[in-house]
Structure 1
Amino acid sequence: MEPVSEMAGSRAATNALLAGLRADNLSPAAVMRFLGLAAHRSLLQATRRPRALAELTALHAVLYALAAGRRPGRRWVAASWGLAASHLGLLEHRTRLAHADILTLLRGNLPALPGASGRVSGAVAVGLDLADGRLARHQGTTSPFGDYADTFADAAFWMWLTLRHEPSRTVRVAAIAAWALPVVTVTAVALRRGAMPERPRPVLLRPAAVLQAVIALRHLVRR
């Protein structure tokens, strides 16, 4: 597998790594090489954006302090920092986090914070989701980083809230189909094709958004 240029675009670099992995038929040695190259590129991209890394670390330090004594608490926050820090290359030309990115990361860490199981937590997550989207469009700060952070924040929070607090088996299955299944499917397709697929973007109907409202309302009115 040829080394990936540091100046290559994030998507092109990812596709190059996946193509090499597929060419080697997902062998254990290829997987280890893939992980090593991916980690190396992530480190390079993070060091090229010291301000974004510092902002990310400061935000998670505050969340880490607030998560003390909770479950999943600090482990959740640490995992969030690791995922975000390893994907700073998706900021592309930007060197710092946008305000919308901070709101997205905050939403993804709600399960680790005080009041996470409260009746209004779903409504808070919906409000943060609407706010970060509107802010990103208004300030022109949309980026692949914000896009993927939004996807994983949704999956993390709503899967956690549903599996922990939702009594309806039907709603739990719907949540898995809405948030976990797409992540697994995209990963499987990427490994099979050796390239990242384009994610579908429904314009008129957004089942996951509707499901968010249903779960948030059920959680709000549940005794």
Structure 2
Amino acid sequence: MRVSDLTDSRAATNALLGTARESRWSPRAVARFLGQAADRSVRQAARRPWALAEVTVLHCLFLALTRTRRDRAGVAVSWTFTVLHLGLLERRDHLVPADVLTLIRGNLPATAVGASRFSGVLAIASDVADGRVARRQAAVSPFGDYADTFADAAFWTWLTLRHETSRTVRAAAIAAWAAPVVTVTAIAVGRGTMPERPRPELLRPAAAMQGIVALRHLLRR
């Protein structure tokens, strides 16, 4: 069976990582890994026309709220990343309310709301809400986990680099958010398999820095 035909996203990713690791991540192996991953992503998105339509309509709404060409480019990147990860929905063929909340958070920087003093507080509220909604509706999925990670990265990196005035806070925030990503990536490359989600202890510094940045942004004149 081809990797593109595997319905389990973790099994497909492990198969791709394992093949690349056996080839010691040579340039040819990396190119093959990226090509096969892209091929599977496109095929999986095509098998979920309802989810693809929902994602497209939602991002069209985001485009209507943008202010600049850079904002529109950001929405286009969000649409591309979202579509290429629709395979992580696995047995679902549509988005759930928790997924929509997550995508809204990731696109806040493209709207006027993102520049408001309350955007950091809204981002934290949506982060808490989407997880609770997903668990209450029994709709937790790898797509939701990865979308949550990308949304946090997009929003908090933008808010920190664009509106945080303290170099110390900026450096501490970026380091706290980069640590889990670097750790998970290093384990995946080294072992040739996807690791489990980072332990809460590893994520607490990132959550703490989100609160600090949000509070400073709220109180800033």
TM-score range, shorter chain: over 0.9
Q: Which moved more, 1:83-92 or 1:125-134?
A: 125-134
Distance 2:55 2:213 in 1: 29
Partner of 1:149: 147
Distance 2:208 2:179 in 1: 17
- Whether the aligned pair in 1 keeps the contact of 2:4 and 2:39 (CA below 8 Å) is no
Distance 1:13 1:195 in 2: 10
Task: Label 1:203 to 1:187 Cα distance change in 2 as closer, same or farther (>3 A).
Answer: closer
Question: How far 1:156 moved relative to its partner?
Answer: 1.4
Task: Label 1:204 to 1:86 Cα distance change in 2 as closer, same or farther (>3 A).
Answer: closer
Residue 202 of structure 1 aligns to which amino acid in structure 2?
P
Distance 1:73 1:185 in 2: 30
Question: How far 1:208 moved relative to its partner?
Answer: 2.2
Please point out which of 167, 173, 188 is paired with 2:165: 167
Partner of 1:6: 5
Please point out which of 75, 84, 87 is paired with 1:86: 84
Please point out which of 151, 174, 177 is paired with 2:175: 177
- Classify the secondary structure of the residue corresponding to 1:115: helix
Distance 1:158 1:86 in 2: 22
Q: Tell me the number of residue pairs that the alignment of Structure 1 and Structure 2 aligns.
A: 221
Partner of 1:215: 213
Question: How far 1:68 moved relative to its partner?
Answer: 4.0
Partner of 2:41: 42
- Whether the aligned pair in 1 keeps the contact of 2:78 and 2:107 (CA below 8 Å) is yes
**CA RMSD for the aligned pairs?**
1.9
Question: How far 1:5 moved relative to its partner?
Answer: 5.5
Distance 1:210 1:131 in 2: 17
Distance 1:205 1:195 in 2: 21
Question: How far 1:4 moved relative to its partner?
Answer: 1.4
Question: How far 1:204 moved relative to its partner?
Answer: 11
- Classify the secondary structure of the residue corresponding to 2:170: helix
Segments of 4+ moved more than 4 angstroms: none
Task: Give ranges in structure 2 of 5+ residues lacking alignment.
Answer: none
Partner of 1:111: 109
Task: Give ranges in structure 1 of 5+ residues lacking alignment.
Answer: none
- Whether the aligned pair in 1 keeps the contact of 2:41 and 2:84 (CA below 8 Å) is yes
Residue 45 of structure 2 aligns to which amino acid in structure 1?
A
Distance 2:159 2:188 in 1: 28
Q: Which moved more, 1:135-144 or 1:178-187?
A: 178-187
Distance 1:182 1:155 in 2: 11
- Classify the secondary structure of the residue corresponding to 1:190: helix
CA deviations over 1:170-208 (Å, ceiling 9, x no partner): 211221122123223322321222111112232798332
Distance 2:139 2:146 in 1: 14
Distance 1:28 1:209 in 2: 36
